[in-house]
Amino acid sequence: MINNKIKLLFKKWLCKVVAFYTDQPYELVLNEHHQFALKPSSDTQSTKWLLVVGRQHYNEQLNTYPIGNKKELNKLLEIEQKSTDKQQATTQSLVTVMGAEQSQVMQWQFAKDLPKAWFTLPESLLMSQTVNDGEVIVNTYHNASFITKHQKNVCSSLISKIINSPERFTSMFGIPLSKVINIKTQQEYLERVINGLHFVPKQNLQAFLNIPVNMFNKQLALRYGAIFAGLFVVYGLLTSGYLVFKTHQLESQLDANKATVNKALNTLNVYMTSRDALLQRQQMLQQLPITSPVFLVISDLFNSAELSSISWQEGRFVLRGKANKATDALATVMQDSRVEDAKFDYPSRKERGGESFVISFVLNTGNDQVIPAVSEQGAQ
């Protein structure tokens, strides 16, 4: 019961803010069955909140720009907007694809004699939100047209002598055809458009914001101020209710996960204890000399590679491990003057996280000087 009342209030609110301009201006109203309907309107002077425009009143095109920077793209679109303003036409642009090297922008150029509105939306954009790729809407309710979407872009066209079938329409855009959806009645048309208003990403609506000239007056300011205040109140209530629900849900989850949290804390304590012991041993080992010269050779290698084994085979030291680049590991080994005949025993292999390698070399320590450790007492 309450849910039905909320839906009815929402429908009445839509009737106040949404208007249509197809073959003539229309108001959005509710019939005796509380279903949406269109009623001819003689009010062409007042500024509409949201105006849905029929396909015959605008040109639609998809433009591709070799620009991958959003800031630079917006500058270019602003320049194009100024040029169309000189032609007394209104152009709205929507960035649909932003790639690394190019971007795609849908543009709609509206007729100059449309009623004033805060948001002027093309019907093809809204109706395309209700279909999947490959599905084509055949709208014969007014000024017959084809509408679909392909890869986030809107594709539409008025039916003409040449483009007179869904097959020809999809062939013109080079897109597949999987399903045809016929729109013949006003009820079907309005259902698609209203659903499109629900589905269209709300961040895209800002692209269609068009502040009318000389539209600010006291009555209009009060009207839209009340609308905005109502929206903020509803938003605040919904947000508060959601936060209360989320807090209760998180507290319930926390109570249910106490055992897991305690186990995680115990694991953390064991880790901290092991880490402290490891740090203590590392500090102790740093004070001791390296007894084998091979560790002098590979000491720098620990910064750039992970060694899995060090072995002595047929007079050569053999290192097995993994690094970002196996050649860098070989170069690090060859930098030491003690190393002779360093080479890959097997070709390096690419693995997740780097390249595995097997490097062998001969260690020549003939030029090393051995300095015996003598205590102060023995020296005396």
pLDDT tens digits for 286-333? 654 555 777 878 888 888 888 888 888 888 999 999 999 889 989 998
pLDDT tens digits for 184-236? 999 999 999 999 998 988 888 888 887 765 555 556 667 777 788 888 888 88
Torsion, Cα of 16, 20, 25, 28 (10° steps): -40
pLDDT tens digits for 224-275? 777 888 888 888 888 888 888 888 888 888 777 877 878 888 899 889 888 8
Using an 8 Å Cβ cutoff, are 25 and 115 in contact?
yes
Can you give the three-state secondary structure of the chain, one letter per residue? CHHHHHHHHHHHHHHHHEEEECCCEEEEEECCCCCEEEEECCCCCCCEEEEEECHHHEEEEEEEECCCCHHHHHHHHHHHHHHHHHCCCEEEEEEEEECCCCEEEEEEEECCCCCCEEEEEEHHHHHHCCCCCCEEEEECCCCCEEEEEECCEEEEEECCCCCCCHHHHHHHHCCCCCEEEEECCHHHHHHHHHHHHHHCCHHHHHHHECCCCCCCCHHHHHHHHHHHHHHHHHHHHHHHHHHHHHHHHHHHHHHHCHHHHHHHHHHHHHHHHHHHHHHHHHHHHHCCCCCCHHHHHHCHHHHCEEEEEEEEECCEEEEEEEECCHHHHHHHHHCCCCEEEEEECCCCEEECCEEEEEEEEEECCCCCCCCCCCCHHHHC
Distance of CA 18 to the CA centre of its chain: 29
Q: What is the pTM of this model?
A: 0.54
Given this model, what pLDDT does residue 368 score? 65
